[in-house]
């Protein structure tokens, strides 16, 4: 199974270059404490929750549901 959370490369000036992805909602997490950037596609129906511990990015919870 492919990982949902992907690493994003930082540029030399500590910025990122991220293009819009047509027909997608992408969540980008910029963790300045750890110096990392991650991205994931939000679920189509439901919740995408970013969890932190001690102010640092820890994980993402995906709660998917269906429309009735």
Q: pLDDT of 20-60, one tens digit each? A: 999 999 999 999 999 999 999 999 999 999 999 999 999 99
- Distance between CA atoms of residues 65 and 50, nearest Å: 18
Computed over its alpha carbons, how large is the radius of gyration of the chain?
13
Domain assignment present for 55: yes
Domain assignment present for 22: yes
Domain assignment present for 1: no
Domain assignment present for 50: yes
Does the pTM exceed 0.85?
A: no
Number of structural domains found in the chain: 1
pLDDT for 38 equals 96
Host domain of residue 50: 6-64
């Amino acid at each position: 199974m492919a990982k949902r959370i992907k690493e994003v490369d930082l540029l030399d000036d500590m910025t990122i270059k991220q293009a819009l992805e047509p027909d997608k909602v992408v969540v980008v997490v910029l963790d300045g404490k750890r110096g990392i950037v991650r991205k994931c596609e939000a679920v189509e129906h439901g919740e995408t929750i970013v969890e932190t511990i001690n102010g640092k990015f820890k994980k993402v919870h995906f709660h998917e549901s269906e429309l009735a």
